[in-house]
């Protein structure tokens, strides 16, 4: 009888001994609990009110483009100003730019973002804050400067406490408020569902293509944001929204509650 073990047999024996002694981590099966892992998730119930708002938005997105009644999606983003503590080393042929990991905090700025997805129009403004007054002034700028000829602006936005008519009445006279509010209709996303706002896509693109770097002051931030806005407007860059009511029911119906 040949008592010599093969290399494969020795390897199996060694793995068994290591697993028993704890030298190697135990292989966790796919369906076993993994307490060391976590995943961010939107935990909510999709109520009738949620569905009502969602369907309203999806129907609005599905309508043909009408320049007299433009659909504009609005949101805002806070940007922390970070200044390099040491000057970066510029890139050279065959070498990438090098920068130090240390930086100095220089405060924050706010960026108001409005995008008309089907027309490829992009409107952005940098402000020091995002108060009710700042919101109202930005809306007035859109109404009077960018959509002066529109009959009614369908403004999609989330439920942040500044995003309501009250901001207008705290900023302007009643007569001016009435004039402005006749030109705009707020269409709110369901609560806990800002993903239905296409301005979120716009902000993600802005982050990835423009803001993914250290910017140390408001002047430089405005310069970079304006350059990004001008390029996108020149290209008439649109957003193609493909999520429909049918797809919503198919994907989310298990979470619907009456």
- Of 1.20.120.340, 3.10.180.10, 3.30.420.10, 1.10.3720.10, the CATH number of 48-86+102-242 is 3.30.420.10
Whole-model pTM?
Answer: 0.79
Q: Is the pLDDT of residue 20 over 60?
A: no
User: pLDDT tens-digit profile of 192-235?
Assistant: 899 999 999 999 999 999 999 889 999 999 999 999 999 999 99
Say how far residue 118 (Cα) sits from the centre of its chain.
18
Structure-model confidence comparison of residues 166 and 24, the more confident one: 166
Q: Is the pLDDT of residue 244 over 60?
A: yes
Edge-to-edge strands, sheet with 184-188: 121-127, 103-116, 71-84, 153-157, 184-188
Asked if residues 193 and 54 have their Cβ atoms less than 8 Å apart, the reply is yes
Asked if residues 187 and 157 have their Cβ atoms less than 8 Å apart, the reply is yes
**C-alpha closest to that of 199 among 247, 163, 235, 150:** 163
pLDDT for residue 192: 87
User: Average pLDDT in the 42-52 region?
Assistant: 83
Structure-model confidence comparison of residues 2 and 226, the more confident one: 226
Structure-model confidence comparison of residues 45 and 6, the more confident one: 45
Q: Is the pLDDT of residue 156 over 60?
A: yes
pLDDT for residue 31: 72
Distance CA 46, CA 50 (A): 6
Q: Per-domain residue ranges for the chain?
A: 48-86+102-242
User: Average pLDDT in the 238-243 region?
Assistant: 96
pLDDT for residue 91: 78
User: pLDDT tens-digit profile of 55-99?
Assistant: 999 999 999 999 999 999 999 999 999 887 667 777 778 877 766
Q: Among 25-29, 104-108, 146-150, 227-231, which is the least confidently predicted range?
A: 25-29
Asked if residues 82 and 216 have their Cβ atoms less than 8 Å apart, the reply is yes
pLDDT for residue 85: 65
């Amino acid at each position: 009888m040949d008592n010599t073990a093969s290399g494969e047999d020795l390897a199996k024996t060694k793995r068994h001994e290591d697993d028993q002694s704890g030298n190697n981590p135990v292989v966790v099966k796919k369906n076993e609990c993994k307490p060391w892992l976590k995943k961010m998730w939107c935990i909510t119930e999709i109520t009738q009110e949620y569905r009502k708002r969602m369907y309203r938005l999806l129907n609005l997105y599905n309508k043909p483009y009408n320049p007299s009644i433009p659909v504009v999606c609005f949101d805002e983003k806070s940007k922390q100003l970070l200044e390099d503590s040491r000057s970066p080393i510029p890139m050279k042929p065959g070498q990438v730019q090098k920068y130090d990991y240390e930086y100095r905090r220089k405060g924050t700025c706010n960026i108001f973002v409005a995008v008309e997805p089907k027309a490829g129009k992009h409107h952005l403004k940098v402000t020091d804050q995002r108060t009710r007054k700042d919101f109202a002034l930005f809306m007035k700028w859109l109404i009077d400067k960018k959509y002066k000829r529109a009959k009614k602006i369908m403004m999609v936005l989330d439920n942040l406490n500044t995003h309501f008519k009250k901001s207008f009445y705290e900023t302007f006279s009643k007569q001016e408020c009435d004039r402005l509010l006749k030109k705009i209709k707020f269409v709110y996303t369901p609560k806990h569902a800002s993903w239905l706002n296409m301005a979120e896509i716009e902000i993600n693109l802005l982050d990835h293509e423009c803001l993914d770097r250290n910017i140390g002051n408001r002047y430089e931030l405005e310069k970079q944001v304006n350059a990004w806005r001008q390029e996108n407007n020149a290209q008439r860059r649109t957003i193609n929204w493909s999520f429909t009511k049918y797809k919503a029911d198919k994907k989310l119906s298990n979470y619907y509650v009456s």
